[in-house]
């Protein structure tokens, strides 16, 4: 039976490239997106390359949408092998919001809705399908700006990046990774957080030094982790990142 992978927010950027790279490994990818037109266009692009893909209508900040998506996958495939929580936003960076005083409360809520609550909903609703896999893998796309160690270290490259909402949302996502790994201990499911680095995407901007191809390497690596691979960790291409 073919491996089934779902990548949230995957009609563009790192999500799309992650789907593409996984599909190249003979994995059937589900393009999770809330915009049907863009999602279907992404699927067609992959299919035009001879890759196995389908569109899944999924709005991670809408509980009913996530539940319906999980039911659709259950009906169509009966299981899920890989879940990549890629959907995320960072409106602060582009708007130049770097202080508590500048950050509107409703914007903070929007950030957490996508980056934290959306990932939680996807995990909660798709976990029963991941349990039906012989080797379930969950990859939470985080960031080194969510590392409390890096944010507290004046020598760190990430010390001066003070997007309060985005940074703390990734810290919260990392905390969920730790809690989930403890819950799943003793099962065949592995869950890890990753940092792709500063990548040229809508979030990272054109100023970023890393390409999308480079950014998704660690995602693909942990999505296809071997049986003896780690769980409950935080990684980039160079290895473990301190919490």
- Counting residues of the chain whose pLDDT is more than 90, the rounded percentage is 86
> Any idea which of 50-54, 61-65, 198-202 has the lowest mean pLDDT?
198-202
CATH number at residue 50: 3.40.50.720
Rg for the chain (alpha carbons), in Å? 17
pLDDT of 229 over the 90 cut: yes
**168/34 Cα distance (integer angstroms):** 25
- pLDDT tens-digit series, residues 203-225: 555 565 567 777 788 999 999 99
How confident is the model at residue 206, as a pLDDT? 59
State which residues form the domain around 173.
4-240
The residue annotated as part of the active site, out of 93, 112, 159, 166, is: 166
How confident is the model at residue 119, as a pLDDT? 98
Domain count, the chain: 1
Is residue 166 annotated as part of the catalytic site, yes or no?
Answer: yes
Contact 165, 108 (CB under 8 A): yes
Mean pLDDT calculated for residue range 1-20: 94
pLDDT of 233 over the 90 cut: yes
More confident residue, 158 or 30: 30
- pLDDT tens-digit series, residues 117-141: 999 999 999 999 999 999 999 999 9
- pLDDT tens-digit series, residues 160-187: 999 999 999 999 999 999 999 999 999 9
More confident residue, 26 or 1: 26
pLDDT of 150 over the 90 cut: yes
Mean pLDDT calculated for residue range 8-30: 95
More confident residue, 94 or 106: 106
């Amino acid at each position: 039976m073919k491996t089934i992978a779902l990548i949230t927010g995957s009609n563009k950027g790192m999500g799309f490239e992650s789907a593409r790279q996984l599909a190249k490994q003979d994995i059937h990818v589900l393009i999770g997106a809330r915009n049907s037109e863009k999602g279907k266009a992404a699927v067609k692009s992959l299919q035009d390359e001879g890759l196995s893909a389908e569109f899944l209508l999924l709005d991670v900040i809408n509980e009913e949408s996530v539940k319906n998506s999980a039911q659709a996958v259950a009906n169509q495939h009966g299981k899920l092998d890989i879940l990549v929580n890629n959907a995320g936003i960072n409106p602060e960076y582009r708007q130049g919001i770097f202080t508590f005083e500048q950050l509107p409360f409703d914007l903070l809520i929007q950030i957490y809705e996508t980056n934290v609550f959306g990932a939680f909903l996807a995990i909660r609703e798709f976990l029963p399908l991941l349990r039906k896999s012989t080797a379930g893998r969950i990859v939470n796309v985080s960031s080194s700006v969510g590392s409390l160690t890096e944010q507290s270290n004046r020598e760190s490259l990430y010390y001066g990046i003070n997007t309060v909402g985005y940074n703390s949302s990734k810290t919260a996502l990392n905390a969920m990774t730790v809690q989930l790994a403890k819950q799943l201990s003793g099962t065949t499911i592995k869950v890890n957080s990753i940092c792709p680095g500063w990548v040229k995407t809508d979030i990272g901007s054109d100023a970023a030094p890393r390409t999308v191809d480079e950014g998704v390497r660690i995602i693909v690596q942990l999505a296809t982790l071997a049986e003896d691979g780690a769980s409950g960790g935080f990684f980039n291409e160079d290895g473990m990142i301190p919490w």
